[in-house]
Amino acid sequence: MSESAGQLADLRGRVEALLAAHDPATSDRLDFLRARFDAGLAWVHFPEGLGGLGLPRSLQGYVDELLARAGAPDNDPRRNGIGLGMAAPTILTFGTDEQRRTFLRPLWTGEEVWCQLFSEPGAGSDLAAVGTRAVPDPHDPGTWVVNGQKVWTSSAHKARWAILVARTDPGVPKHAGLTYFVCDMTDPGVDVRPLRQITGEAEFNEVFLSDVRIPDAHRLGAVGEGWRVANATLMNERVAIGGHAAPRESGMAGVVARTWRERPELRTPELHDRLLSLWVEAEVARLTGQRLRQKLAVGEPGPEGSAMKLTFARLAQELSGLELELLGEEGLRYDEWTMTRPDIVEFTGRDAGYRYLRAKGNSIEGGTSEILRNIVAERVLGLPSEPRVDKDIPWKDLPR
């Protein structure tokens, strides 16, 4: 029996043992998820004791399939996308043993939702320019006091924890003076306010931090190492947004293709040519995503994730625009423009007007398309970087 076959057999045995001890039909959902984590079947590529077994990442799909066939509950991953896709791999890479034990289990089970406190009104695409300050409390050694404002924070209104980048040394160049923390969103100094967007909803929030106290035990990485830690988070974010496993004609490509098939009276030769072109591009992106996940199975996410996210944003916007044109007057209909704070972003279950408006945010969230083009140009194509005149100037001396 090959090693791969042996691994599959071992995983099958572990799944069967989990199901025998915790029948999904009678077990409490949260109890089952906790037991699955403890059995190493949450993230099989994570270390033992942290939800994994130290196996290749590619084997996770096999575990998920076995459990789905048995009717086992999942951890509702879309509800905690930032926690699962960004916080967890960052904590695994940079966290202490205590931080990993504290945060990873309730994160994976969905007991604790996470959000991301990175962007600011004056520091979005230029994340290294953040001005939120974290200073040591002179009266309480081992505690940081944080003040500032963050913006475009998805899930902040339901999050228990946040990953936070703050400036701890304004006297050094901007990239060198940052530190990365885990922030308790229940601290009395955290004020979350909804940001209403063009769809009428408020997926995002602005967050005001007023004398928020963070123990040094909740710092990820060394003081001043925040830029390196944040970059690891962002690479994982772009993979999470643009690198999902997907069947053919998933997402917006499938939505538009179904409309085309079901409504022949809407067709024109020009729209047909555009649909074919975008369908092919979507299929190329899907297959490229498969290659990206193969690379992830043997290492860390790299700049390829930025290229995938860039492609995802462009295709979503072009396909949603094509759908609107295909539908003509029907595409102008918008069923409900109301102020809600949705738990998840649902494209395929909404009308064409919503999809068209919501897709505009795809080229901003998770890194603007302009910044991602720079990353692809410099780190993938090897082109010269743009001149950066502020690279060696202390942050406090930069114009703002």
Angle, helices 304-327/269-296, rounded to nearest 10 degrees: 160
Of 237, 304, 318, 323, catalytic? 237
3-state secondary structure 110-179: CCCCEEEECCECCECCCHHHCCCEEEECCCCCCEEEEEEEECCCCCCCCCCEEEEEEECCCCCEHHHCEE
CA neighbor of 157 nearest in space, from 211, 103, 196, 104: 196
Is 281 designated active site? no
Residue type, 312: F
| ∠ Cα 386 390 392 (to 5°) | 110
CA–CA distances in Å: residue 137 to residues 212, 215, 219: 11, 10, 15
How many Å apart are CA 121 and CA 119, to the nearest integer?
Answer: 7
The answer to whether residues 127 and 164 touch, using CB atoms and an 8 Å cutoff, is: no
CA neighbor of 148 nearest in space, from 195, 183, 199, 110: 183
The answer to whether residues 152 and 203 touch, using CB atoms and an 8 Å cutoff, is: no
Alpha helices, DSSP H only, in 243-351? 251-262, 269-296, 304-327
Task: Show which residues are catalytic.
Answer: 237
